[in-house]
Amino acid sequence: MIDVASHPKFDRPPVIEVMHGVRFRRLNFDIAHPGHFHDLLKDRYPKVQTVPALPPEREYFGTPQQMMLRFEIPLLVELPRAWFISADDTMLIQLQPDRLLFNWRAGSGKEAYPHFPTISGEFLKVFEILETFVADCRLGNVAPELCEMAYINQMGNWPRDTVMTPHDWLRGWSPDLGSEWAGEMEDFSSIARFTLKHPDGQAYGRVTTSATTIVMPPSLDRSLQLEVAVRGIPETTDTDGILGFHDIAHDQIVRCFAALTTDSAHKCWERRDI
């Protein structure tokens, strides 16, 4: 396991949402199974919603031609995705036949981020309940194929009639454009992908960063949203393999986030190096 204590830490990070997830070989769910699963969780997650299923997809790692997600046309009618939500709306479980996702969300009260160990521990509880449920219902077993994690951060505030200055928050963007252009920036968007490799050079995952402008009603002020996501293949398909990959993903997300953002921003977020 990696030494997670050696990476930067932020006591007041700008994170507004976190997702831990695992995709697995499709389970033979019928329409009743999500409801029965919710019976095991309803004390802590009393609210229920149904939303469209996320499309089947495969992610390939290796040569550039294989880098993008491939979406597959399902042969069967997809069941809807089930959402199970905590009473305070900060925690969300998403379940469909081929994946389990767990989200923490800041919510309207801007609750403080509870940090990685708390979210990882809650994901583990839900995953173990799912494993038991699948076994009890004789649906086979949960066979993980891909792990994923994403952190969404919100930073900066620009009233609608002001010029955006993403360089205050993001490295690599300079306000010093050439003399050929002097337009005022209205919004901003940037995507970058980075390959994760084993020591032997074999690719096993990918870090994807996405920075974009969001408009916040009712004021229509603008903010900069930075998402850092990691997807990849766990070394083993048991619980230890999933949690081990999530440890790696968290470490990579924190390091990438720190590398992309400015020193002055780090002071606002109370960075510590341990």
SS3 labels along the chain:
CCCHHHCEEECCCCEEEEEEEEEECCCCCCCCHHHHHHHCCCCCCCEEEEECCCCCEEECCCCHHHCCEEECCCCCCCCCEEEEECCCCCEEEEEECCEEEEEEECCCCCCCCCCHHHHHHHHHHHHHHHHHHHHHCCCCCCCEEEEEEEEEEEEEEECCCCCCCHHHCECCCCCCCCCCCCCCCCCCEEEEEEEEECCCCCEEEEEEEEEEEEEECCCCEEEEEEEEEEEECCCCCCHHHHHHHHHHHHHHHHHHHHHHECHHHHHHCCEEEC
pLDDT band at 182 (very low <50, low <70, confident <90, very high): confident
Starting at the edge strand that comes first in sequence, how are the strands of the sheet with 221-232 ordered? 47-51, 81-85, 91-96, 99-105, 15-24, 144-158, 221-232, 203-216, 189-197
User: 23, 144 in Cβ contact below 8 A?
Assistant: yes
pLDDT band at 1 (very low <50, low <70, confident <90, very high): very low
Return d(Cα 90, Cα 191) in angstroms, integer: 27
pLDDT tens-place string over residues 92-131: 999 999 999 999 999 776 778 999 999 999 999 999 999 9
Return d(Cα 61, Cα 153) in angstroms, integer: 26
Tell me what pLDDT residue 123 has. 98
pLDDT tens-place string over residues 226-239: 999 999 999 999 99
Q: Report in angstroms the alpha-carbon separations of 229 from 45, 186, 195.
A: 25, 26, 12
Count of alpha carbons within 13 angstroms of residue 232, beta-carbon side = 31
Q: Which residues pair with 154 in a beta bridge?
A: 225
pLDDT tens-place string over residues 9-48: 999 999 999 999 999 999 999 999 999 999 999 999 999 9
Q: Which of 102, 94, 70, 61 is nearest to 207 (CA)?
A: 61
pLDDT band at 69 (very low <50, low <70, confident <90, very high): low
Return d(Cα 115, Cα 5) in angstroms, integer: 13
Task: Report the pLDDT averaged over residues 232-250.
Answer: 95
Tell me what pLDDT residue 70 has. 52
Tell me what pLDDT residue 56 has. 79
Tell me what pLDDT residue 2 has. 47
Return d(Cα 112, Cα 221) in angstroms, integer: 22
Residue 191 has pLDDT above 70, yes or no: yes
Q: Which of 204, 217, 206 is nearest to 150 (CA)?
A: 206
Tell me what pLDDT residue 177 has. 83
